[in-house]
Structure 1
Amino acid sequence: MNKQKNVQQQVDTERKKEQVSVLEKIRRRTGLLVSIVGVALLIFILESLLGSGASIFGGSDLNYAGSINGKKIDRNEFLMKFENQLNNYRQRNQGRDVDESTKTQVIEGIWQQYIIDLVMKPQFNKIGIAVGDDELYESVVVNPAQSIIQNLTDPNTGKINEQFSRPDGSLDPLKWRQAVQNVTGENEMAVRSMEEQVKDSRYFEKFRALITKGLYVTKAEAKQNYQNQNQKRELSYIIKRFDSVSDTVVKVTDSDIQKYYKEHSYQYMNSEATRSAEYVVFNVLPSKEDLAEIENDAQRVASEFKGLSVRDDSSFMAQESENGSIMIQNFTKKSMIIRDSSVFTSAAGTVFGPYNEGAYFKIYKLQGINSMADSARIRHILVGINDAQQKPKRSLEQAKNEADSILVLLKAKKVSFDSLVVNYSDDGGSKTNGGDYGWFDENEGFVEQFKNAGLMGSKGNISVVETQFGYHIIEVLDVSKTRHNSYRVAQIFKLIGPSDETNQRVFATANQFAGENNTAELFDKAVVAQKLIPRMANNIKEGNYQVSGLDGAKELVKWAFNANKGDVTIFTMTDKHVVAKLSGIKNQGLLPLEEVKDDVTMKATQAKKAEMFTEEFKNKAGNDKSIEAIAGKLGLEVRKSSDLIAQQNTIEGVGPDNIMVGTAIGTKAGALSKITTGINGVFVLAVNSVEKNIEMKDYTNQMKDMERELNGRADSDSFYALKEMSDIEFHKSRID
């Protein structure tokens, strides 16, 4: 162990020397050290690129995130990388919380980098791939790689920061060289991080080139592929299916099962650890007392809502409605959501409800009734407050002043609407039509203020309307003669949920169940005795925090990968308490016989049947040369399958059976196959006809297409193959 540790320390030392030498060479090549204004800005830009810098070596048996080819990955080191990347994410997104999906992506990205370092890079060294100092200098400084350009680009504007750019916005190599040679401390680490990104990219580019240049397709392969896709066969077959004879007829011993398991162990290799859990749910539902209390509160809200003016409604709604929701909508007679038909004859200010509508008590207030045209046609000029990069262009006050000024000019007829649309409007989509949006009704997807200016306006009217996009100068070109009433309704939602007392009572029941039935045997008996409904969650994967039937099951999954089979525990979720039993463990690698015994027994039984059926074929019709004669002696039906091509996996009348398809493709026209065991039973087939070879004059395009497909898979297939050859174990549940 000490020898191995010393060797690893030497490797780390050499790696650091290499990093220093490359950066020093970059500095030497840039000439004199020239100070640069704006180093603080460089710090801000580069700090998001910093990794943890921790060594990937070390870690104890009890505290590791996984292992790759015998190298254990220290959990604390992984967590440090994880937290660094989450912090970088928060900095780039103004402190926004990191959601579960993003966390999962970060974890996967870090783990993939470990695989690259410990699986891919050793292969690069073995085959002699290298990235020299001069090459790296060229890609980092002289002609920066795309990853460098991206790192120096402001994500908000899509432009290279002005401290590193020419007047035309492109990267200025001189400024970039000056920045590189002046960085120190953490910023130097950031430059090295970018250097490593470029170096990794060059490794993979060379590896990809090495593989793809060795891939080619011959004319013979292209011709065969074309025929496999197009050449059709017709065959006759007989099959004695495994399900035609009861399993009880065949005697399978323990030694038969052991033998099949040993000879077919490759079928029972588990590529990823999984768990199975059985659980019962104790739902937290509102009691009668809870419902009465919520209804009383809704009655209070309805009473207070009646006495408020429309001006005060919004603040009251924000105070009383679920999640501070302010919901005010316009309805017609057809779309009205209030169940009381008197709403159509009631005065503005009338309050309806509260109504129990399932998840909520709802209170409605008729705020107003407006006469609205069935349809209208308008044109507009937009004085916007945002440009394409979402950077402030005008303040709201500035936009309002400009819009009011335009309105004065238009009403005084000192300028034409058409010219202002083309030269002034910020709505590029309507410029080609003179700002005209054509006819629309209230179902159109425009914002409400925009629609109402037309539907509630009069022909020829010009007004200024505010929306979230800015201020619109809207001219009503025409309105329909037909009109209808629009009913403006405000809504307050009161969630019908359980009280804390109810939640505590349900938890006490679930907790008592878990405490009294804390073994698998007791759990199973109690489920039956109490007539509970058990639910199953199979094939739970580590790090996947969604379980069938349960949302937000993160803690349950983490527990499943750290508990023993038969363990029982309780979990509290949003609206329920769950008592779970760990019912199954499938670790990575060869699954134990006891875990797959049912499948092994079934297949061993089929193997016995195959031996029995094969002997029957040989004894009764071993010398017959026609499919009809064999069928007659065995009492089987001759069936046919037409238009069979090589790329199918299904036989007409049988179903999926690659062995039958392969046998048919390998049998010549007019010939009879051997007695063969397929997926579904023992069969003999005869190929009645094979379509004549369909020739192409030129297979060049076919060859190119096949080579493109091979090259497109080169990266993923080689990466997957190396992973499959490696001993990789990852415990996601120990990270987040």
Structure 2
Amino acid sequence: MALLGTIRNRFGWVMMGLVFVGVASFLFMDISPGANTASGRSATVGYVNGEKVSNDLVQGYASEYKGAGYLQEEIQAQVWERIVGEKLLMQKTLAAGMEVTSTEMGDLFLSKDASLLSPIVQSRLADQKTRQVNTDQVKEMIAMYKNTSALIKRADGNVKQQEQLLDQQRDWLALEKSVKTRALQDKYFVALEKGIYTPTWMAEMENNLQETGYNFDYVRIPYTNIKNEVSVSDKEMKDYIAANARQFKREATANIEYVVFDVAPTKEDSLLYYTSMEERAVELRAAKTGEEDSSVVLQYTKDFSSTFYTETEMTTLADVPASMVDSIFDAAEGTVFGPYVQGQKYKVLKKIGEKSLPDSVKARHILIRAEDPTAGQNARVLLDSIKNVLETDPTASFDSLALAFSQDGSSSTGGDLGWQGKDVSFVPEFKEYMFYTGKKNEYTLLYTQFGVHLIQITDTKYETDRVGIRIAVLEEAIIPTGKTTEAKKREAVEFISTNRTLEEMKKAAKAKGLTVAPVAGLEKGAFDISGLGKNSTAASIIAWAHLPETKVGDVTGSAYAVDNDELGYTEKFVIMALASKVEKGLATTADPQVRAEVETTLRNQKKTAIVKGELASLTSLDAIAGKYNVIKQSATNVKYGTATVGSDGTEPKVVGLAANTAVGQMSGAVGGKTGVYIVNVTSKIDAPAITDIKTVRESVTRRISQAISSGIYENMKENSKILDERMN
């Protein structure tokens, strides 16, 4: 289970003494954000239609993303969009008199009718195997996290447990808020849909439009085949942007140009790492026992895996070069390979052992959960005692002891885990013991994230004669040394000091053989630059470009380091200059991307007009195909609902053209996505007669509602006053 499982696994000790009181309407009374703190006040970092956005709210939401692999800048962007969206929704629903009552919240979390449960509750709190929500446990969670002072009291002075409980309370309250927000959103859009009335005539017309099929021959003339000279003026592009203002609304953007000083390892750097790896190879060769192997390996890595790999797994799981696999399997145990180069690393590999691998294993266990070191020690003592009983008392029953002591679902079956194949989804420590290190019939204590296990392998099956090899791999990245990095940084800084304008930078870069890379359309707060990737350095560069004091033509005063997080080194230094800034509002042709888009659109429109003008003298598809050196094609049962024309993809304009052309007639020309189309409709397939007008009406209403809903958030934002002061 997701959140509920985490809470229950980590804080089962709290639930043991929990007494559930009250009903759903009591449980879901509002908890004031400032009620359990010394002060409910917080710095204001923005406004949405005059409503304050507090720093506490921003930081609280940001904490939910920690550990998920997001950049800090990415988190801030997501959090801001989330807060703005929630506040706009709340404002709209409040104005409409909508709310989610405590009774409704009770149903969303606790209803025995699964259709009434919130999709968020079902996703986050359902058992992963049964997909059912245990509402009794959910009630316990609601009651437990309702009362902050009671939570603190339960910690009984244990600071760590108190912090854990308060963290889990924040998680739970965030879940409640998400459920409430989703419910409000659903209400709002349902209300929108109910406000749409689809009369019978409209349903019939829409059904006819969507379901009528067209068979036609057609010619597609690629725009590139139309060789006539076509020019587009700046005024035409400006007029087009103005006429399509909604499409070309832009946030403030900056355009930059940059050069890169790559930091690469020198031959001296590479030799240094090679020598180091040779020394490690010598150490591995000298190790003659498993204990000695482990001692050497753990000096240089955090883990010494007990996994035995088959020939296939050696390349897919162990990442061993395919060219080495046969040699490793043929070699004697103890053989050391390398140093060899793989990717950007030197590696040394030792064959530790070889054994036949079972295809399936049958095992049983007794689990004692442990949430902290003290509980772990107590669990070990208890399981040691049980292990001693099983090993010394012939009358002792594993089944009975599992039923009495084990704290997982297998206790009712005597701890039996059944037959399991190697693809079983057990935690790594458990799987490793069952298939690689465990011995049949022995009792062993095993530690996992769930607690302490007493495990016994009761049987094994060998059906496919699989052989596995255990290996040890030591590696060292071939990266620039600190000396090399500093030398490259000095070179970059010197370049900056002598080139303080964009033009100087470009001229000097050309002299050095460096590429100047332009990047357009960088919005404030963004964190991704083409060629540099999505990282904090990109975010810092974009922030610099948007500073009021950064002027067009300026070159940055320092070199920005781009790090390779995987290998842990600086892989390049970036120097950039501001090429231009574009204020918030309508895009202009100063933006190269906008200029290219608009110019292409207008050029294609003019080429379409040229073809239209020539149709007077070209009276058949064959004649048109011959003139433009293309082939005549056919399409069958093309409907407006899908608008797929043969292998050309989706072309709604072409289907519209067919719908407005009489059978047996050649159409005019229409500009599609990649070329100009002319069709000759051979037949039409009438839409099926409507047998259930109610269903058709509901379908049309839903389609209209979806079209409205898809743009409603942007519409809300456009018509709202949103002030972001986080960076001020």
Deviation per CA, 1:566-605, whole angstroms, max 9, x where unpaired? 4433311212112234445454422224444555455444
- Deviation (angstroms), 1:531: 2.6
The code of the aligned residue for 1:473 comes to I
Structure 1 residues 101, 219: CA separation in 2 closer, same or farther (over 3 Å shift)? farther
Q: 2:546: which partner in 1?
A: 561
User: Residue 474 in 1 paired to residue 441 in 2?
Assistant: no
User: Residue 703 in 1 paired to residue 690 in 2?
Assistant: no
- Residue aligned with 1:327, SS: coil
Equivalent of residue 379 in structure 2, options 391, 398, 405: 398
Equivalent of residue 572 in structure 1, options 561, 568, 571: 561
- Residue aligned with 1:555, SS: helix
Deviation per CA, 1:228-255, whole angstroms, max 9, x where unpaired? 443211234567765444343x466666
The code of the aligned residue for 2:409 comes to G
* Residue correspondence of structure 1 range 206-605 to structure 2 within 5 A: 207-208=188-189, 210-237=191-218, 242-248=223-229, 250=230, 264-266=243-245, 269-301=248-280, 306=286, 311=291, 317-318=297-298, 320-321=299-300, 325-331=302-308, 334=311, 335=314, 354-363=339-348, 369=353, 374=358, 377-386=361-370, 394-406=375-387, 408-409=389-390, 412-421=393-402, 424-428=405-409, 435-438=416-419, 440=421, 447=428, 452=433, 461-468=441-448, 469-478=451-460, 480=462, 489-551=471-533, 552=535, 553-562=538-547, 563-569=550-556, 570-574=559-563, 575-583=571-579, 585-595=581-591, 596-605=594-603
Question: Unaligned 5+ residue runs, structure 1?
Answer: 1-40, 58-67, 159-164, 180-186
Structure 1 residues 441, 89: CA separation in 2 closer, same or farther (over 3 Å shift)? closer
- Deviation (angstroms), 1:526: 3.3
**Identical residues among aligned pairs (%):** 20
Q: 1:7: which partner in 2?
A: none
How far apart, in 1, do the equivalents of 2:355 and 2:677 lie?
79
Do the aligned residues in 1 keep the contact of 2:255 with 2:580 (CA within 8 Å)? yes
Q: 1:12: which partner in 2?
A: none
Do the aligned residues in 2 keep the contact of 1:675 with 1:684 (CA within 8 Å)? yes
- Deviation (angstroms), 1:645: 0.9
- Residue aligned with 1:573, SS: strand
User: Residue 688 in 1 paired to residue 682 in 2?
Assistant: yes
Do the aligned residues in 1 keep the contact of 2:439 with 2:457 (CA within 8 Å)? no
- Deviation (angstroms), 1:643: 1.7
Structure 1 residues 261, 110: CA separation in 2 closer, same or farther (over 3 Å shift)? closer
Structure 1 residues 221, 278: CA separation in 2 closer, same or farther (over 3 Å shift)? same
The code of the aligned residue for 1:571 comes to Y
How many equivalent pairs are there?
Answer: 629
How far apart, in 1, do the equivalents of 2:509 and 2:250 lie?
33
- Deviation (angstroms), 1:505: 0.7
User: Residue 719 in 1 paired to residue 713 in 2?
Assistant: yes
How far apart, in 1, do the equivalents of 2:688 and 2:107 lie?
52
Structure 1 residues 401, 265: CA separation in 2 closer, same or farther (over 3 Å shift)? closer
Do the aligned residues in 1 keep the contact of 2:215 with 2:636 (CA within 8 Å)? yes
How far apart, in 2, do the equivalents of 1:473 and 1:82 lie?
50
Equivalent of residue 666 in structure 1, options 648, 660, 684: 660
How far apart, in 2, do the equivalents of 1:270 and 1:611 lie?
28
- Deviation (angstroms), 1:694: 0.9
- Residue aligned with 1:52, SS: coil
Equivalent of residue 110 in structure 1, options 71, 76, 80: 80
Deviation per CA, 1:313-337, whole angstroms, max 9, x where unpaired? 656655x42xx52334454684496
Q: Which moved more, 1:339-348 or 1:608-617?
A: 339-348
Equivalent of residue 140 in structure 2, options 152, 163, 169: 169
- Deviation (angstroms), 1:359: 3.4
- Deviation (angstroms), 1:378: 3.2
- Deviation (angstroms), 1:214: 0.7
How far apart, in 1, do the equivalents of 2:337 and 2:581 lie?
56
- Residue aligned with 1:700, SS: helix
How far apart, in 2, do the equivalents of 1:376 and 1:611 lie?
71
- Residue aligned with 2:459, SS: strand
The code of the aligned residue for 1:642 comes to T
Deviation per CA, 1:260-298, whole angstroms, max 9, x where unpaired? 565x45376133444444433322222222233334444
- Residue aligned with 1:378, SS: strand
Deviation per CA, 1:450-474, whole angstroms, max 9, x where unpaired? 6556767776x33224232522231
TM-score (norm 2): 0.67
Do the aligned residues in 2 keep the contact of 1:410 with 1:416 (CA within 8 Å)? no
The code of the aligned residue for 2:573 comes to H
Structure 1 residues 375, 614: CA separation in 2 closer, same or farther (over 3 Å shift)? closer
* Residue correspondence of structure 1 range 62-211 to structure 2 within 5 A: 81-82=54-55, 85-86=58-59, 100-101=70-71, 104-114=74-84, 129-130=96-97, 139=102, 169=140, 207-208=188-189, 210-211=191-192
How far apart, in 1, do the equivalents of 2:61 and 2:599 lie?
53
How far apart, in 2, do the equivalents of 1:291 and 1:245 lie?
56
Deviation per CA, 1:487-540, whole angstroms, max 9, x where unpaired? 654444333322211101111222233333443333333343333344454544
Equivalent of residue 640 in structure 2, options 640, 646, 659: 646
- Which of the two has higher C-alpha Rg? 1
Structure 1 residues 454, 397: CA separation in 2 closer, same or farther (over 3 Å shift)? farther
How far apart, in 2, do the equivalents of 1:536 and 1:688 lie?
51
